[in-house]
């Protein structure tokens, strides 16, 4: 920024001292606007209407009117029929028709599913998201921190002739001293010594390129190939798979560092499980180079991958994927960073990694995986299927028993004892059945 420029909330001052005047209250700040966007995006999700909600809207008035007619019409129409007998039958009919089994057991079924998920380290923020997992056909996954550990390690040091590996690491660590990027952290961790801040007299982070710093009075460049090209450095391009950090001192190429992000142990199994569960399209989005993205996708069995994406590019790409889905199909996004927040909120079901994930991502997500294992996505889908099966078992059981006893009650075959069983007994059985999900 230059004197007179606007500084948005959330900006990070990486070098120098700035005097900034606050011009707006928090309610008008950029951070507040971003949070509003996230909330509005969440509001665009289509609400899952439970079957029982629609059913009860018509069921209750119908059975009340039917009981009233049963009490009044037969004594007026049938010879020998008395009001005492038919009012008693109507009372039996009304007791049997009470929808307690449906109203109690179905929410208990979904709560049981949410409880079973939490036992497995998966926090589901609502029964509608648990139910939506049954229709999941697209899973879009961020790479770093989701499919990979998000912890970069230096796997190769390639200094130019005349430069020692130790000197190359030392220069790189001081160049990355003020960066909080995981790649910078891996370089500083490998260096293993205290950074001597007084040696760094200038620092400038060039977005999308790397670092330009002055160390011991010498200009040091540390970044990608674009940075070397930008400053016309004659460098030796590395073709190995991974993130390459090229270094130059005083315009002269000094060497490179190969940094790789290890794939999570259960990532391949997670992809296979999702395919078994019925997910038809698994897509990976990453800001890394295409070679890195393609290599990770090939190892994991992912056929569709989009690389070299900036945060705004991920949103655009995700919107394209949303446009492809069918009317009843659901799209999930799995991420962990604050830059994934808008996409998490826009998705039908947002998965966030609870361990490495940022607070904003966890807040925006619908499902949080507490141990960062992508294989838990398949586990959540299995719990959702078990929950749906048990819920529908209760629906058919309750309606079937009540339908039978309603007919028996109307014809005077069922007594009040049978009516109580058809109401309370069916409710207890349905609740016990719903609790089975906790043992899945």
Asked if 340 and 314 count as a contact pair (C-beta separation under 8 A), the reply is yes
Catalytic, out of 84, 142, 366, 386: 142
CB atoms within 10 A of CB 431: 17
Long-range Cβ contacts of 296-300 (<8 Å, 24+ apart): 296/143, 296/147, 296/148, 296/263, 299/263, 299/268, 300/147, 300/263, 300/267, 300/268, 300/271
- For residue 415 the two structure tokens come to 């007594």
Residue 142 appears among annotated catalytic residues: yes
Question: With contact defined as beta carbons under 8 Å apart, do 280 and 256 qualify?
Answer: no
Q: Which residue has the tokens 């005047």?
A: 21
Tokens of 296: 């990770």
Distance CA 134, CA 138 (A): 12
Pairing assessment for the beta strands 122-124 and 367-369 based on DSSP bridges: antiparallel
User: Per the structure block, which two tokens stand in for 310?
Assistant: 């900036």
> Using an 8 Å Cβ cutoff, are 354 and 370 in contact?
yes
The alpha carbon dihedral of 339, 345, 350, 355 has a sign of positive
Query: CB-hemisphere CA count at 13 Å for 305?
Result: 23
Other beta carbons within 10 Å of 119: 12
CA-based nearest residue to 353, from 181, 149, 185: 149
Separation between Cα atoms, residue 115 and residue 121, nearest integer Å: 10
Q: Is 221 helix (H, G, I), strand (E, B) or coil?
A: strand
Distance of CA 257 to the CA centre of its chain: 33
Catalytic residues: 142
């Amino acid at each position: 920024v230059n004197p007179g420029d606007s500084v948005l909330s959330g900006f990070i001052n990486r070098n120098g001292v700035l005097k900034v005047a606050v011009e707006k209250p928090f309610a008008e700040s950029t951070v507040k606007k971003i949070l509003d966007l996230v909330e509005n995006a969440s509001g665009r999700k289509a609400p899952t209407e439970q079957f029982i909600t629609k059913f009860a809207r018509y069921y209750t008035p119908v059975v009340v009117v039917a009981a009233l007619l049963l009490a009044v019409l037969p004594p007026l129409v049938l010879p020998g029929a008395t009001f005492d007998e038919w009012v008693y039958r109507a009372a039996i009919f009304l007791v049997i028709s009470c929808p307690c089994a449906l109203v109690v057991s179905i929410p208990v079924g979904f709560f049981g599913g949410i409880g079973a998920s939490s036992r497995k380290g998966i926090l589901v923020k609502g029964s509608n998201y648990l139910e939506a997992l049954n229709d999941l056909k697209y899973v879009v996954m961020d790479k770093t921190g989701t499919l990979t550990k998000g912890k970069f390690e230096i796997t190769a040091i390639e200094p130019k002739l005349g430069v020692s590996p130790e000197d190359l690491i030392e220069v790189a660590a001081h160049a990355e001293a003020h960066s909080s990027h995981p790649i910078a952290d891996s370089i500083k961790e490998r260096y293993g010594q205290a950074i001597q801040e007084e040696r760094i007299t200038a620092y400038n982070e060039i977005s999308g390129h790397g670092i330009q710093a002055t160390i011991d009075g010498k200009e040091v460049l540390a970044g990608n190939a674009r940075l070397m090209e930008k400053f016309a450095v004659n460098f030796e391009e590395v073709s190995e798979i991974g993130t390459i950090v090229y270094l130059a001192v005083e315009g002269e190429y000094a060497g490179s560092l190969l940094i790789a992000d290890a794939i999570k142990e259960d990532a391949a199994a997670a992809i296979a499980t999702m395919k078994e569960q019925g997910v038809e399209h698994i897509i990976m989005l990453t800001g890394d180079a295409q070679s890195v993205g393609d290599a990770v996708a090939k190892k994991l069995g992912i056929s569709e991958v989009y690389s070299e994406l900036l945060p705004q590019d991920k949103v655009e790409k995700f919107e394209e994927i949303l446009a492809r889905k069918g009317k009843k199909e659901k799209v999930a996004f799995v991420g962990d960073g604050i830059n994934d927040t808008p996409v998490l909120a826009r998705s039908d079901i947002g998965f966030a990694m609870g361990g490495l994930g940022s607070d904003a991502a966890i807040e925006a997500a619908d499902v949080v995986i507490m141990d960062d294992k992508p294989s838990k996505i398949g586990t959540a889908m299995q719990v959702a299927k078990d929950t749906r099966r048990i819920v529908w078992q209760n629906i058919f059981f309750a309606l079937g028993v009540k339908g039978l006893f309603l007919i028996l009650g109307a014809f005077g075959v069922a007594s009040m004892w049978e009516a109580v069983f058809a109401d309370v007994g069916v409710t207890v059985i349905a609740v016990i059945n719903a609790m089975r999900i906790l043992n899945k």
